[in-house]
Amino acid sequence: MSFFLGIDTSNYTTSTALYDSEIGEMVQQKKLLPVKEGQLGLRQSDAVFHHTAQLHTLIEELLKDVDTSKIAAIAASSRPRPVDGSYMPCFTVGENTAKILSSAMKIPLYTFSHQEGHISAALFGSQRTDLFDKQFIAFHVSGGTTEAVFAKGFGTGFSVELAAHTLDLNAGQAIDRTGLMLGLKFPCGPQLEQLALKNTEKIRVKPTLKGCDCCLSGVENLSKKLIDEGKSPEYVSAFCLKYIEQTLSEMTKRLLEKYGKHPLLFAGGVMSNRIIKNSFEEKYNAIFAPPQFSADNSAGIAYLGYRKYNDVHTRV
């Protein structure tokens, strides 16, 4: 048996993935949750409803040409972060579906956190799975999270210790709120990036930090002020992304001073932004995943399932 099925039902995307361990190939089927025009995300009850409606069709498409008898194990995300008390109703859809499949197919089920999945996907996508045996600093930056963790690899996975986080707004929220003020469609990240790339004016920003932690609520207020002053959408977009870039850069600098020199990994949807990515690759030689492994996905969950199964079933 060589296939490992991964399921992730986050607050933004229904995701499935199948990892073929014999050839190292990852196949994904995922779909954004529908958000009404002008709204910022979904209520949890709506997210649960849409996941329930979408998940079975994605699994059907993913497995239509697969010999399911070769699926060795199933893995699912069961909570946002790998800490006690971390909970979000939308993850119950994927976890419960995985439980049903595991019981019916009589194969093991492994659960992980959404955050662990993001980091794992970034390691897999960047071909840096060697970090599963090392220590590194990982940023998880998205609409629902802006955190840096100190990760300690132990072969099949990693433990994480919170190192820094936002004290108010998440980076993805700041991007989406600025985008909606500019009339863009949620999620606004790709459109905001395209506008920012057209800006030709110089931009200066002063990020706000408390120790290694950051504050990002000012981005929304400052962006609104710029719009009210008549600044172009291109300038406002560039300002928003520059503010986030400089904030993350200062957090990185302070974390390296605190923990010493370690590999740097950046995961999450915000980190697929080319402006931010190019800057950090140049400054810090940082590791980034390809876009398909940066945004919400279940590839990292499937890969963690493979590593867990391999350890459980081969250890002497």
Q: In the numeric block, which tokens belong to residue 132?
A: 């599963």
Domains along the sequence of the chain with CATH: 3-126+293-314 (3.30.420.40), 163-288 (3.30.420.40)
- Per DSSP, the residues of 41-54 read S--HHHHHHHHHHH
- 11-58 pLDDT, tens digit each: 889 999 999 999 999 999 999 999 887 777 788 999 999 999 999 999
pLDDT tens, N- to C-terminus, the chain (316 residues): 699 999 999 988 999 999 999 999 999 999 999 988 777 778 899 999 999 999 999 999 999 999 999 999 999 999 999 988 999 999 999 999 999 999 999 999 999 999 999 999 999 999 999 999 999 999 999 988 999 999 999 988 899 999 999 999 999 999 999 999 999 998 899 999 999 999 999 999 999 999 999 999 999 999 999 999 999 999 999 999 999 999 999 999 999 999 999 999 999 989 988 888 888 988 898 999 888 898 899 999 999 999 999 986 654 3
Q: How far is CA 140 from CA 87, 136, 171, 176, 288, in A?
A: 17, 13, 10, 17, 11
Q: Compute the distance between CA of residue 81 and CA of residue 96 in angstroms, rounded to an integer.
A: 18
Q: Compute the distance between CA of residue 275 and CA of residue 241 in angstroms, rounded to an integer.
A: 8
Q: Any idea what DSSP says for residue 24?
A: T
Q: Compute the distance between CA of residue 221 and CA of residue 191 in angstroms, rounded to an integer.
A: 20
pTM of the model: 0.91
Per-residue pLDDT at 316: 39
Whether the CB-CB separation of 120 and 304 falls below 8 Å is answered with yes
- Per DSSP, the residues of 258-300 read HH-S--EEEESGGGG-HHHHHHHHHHH--EE--GGGTSS-SHH
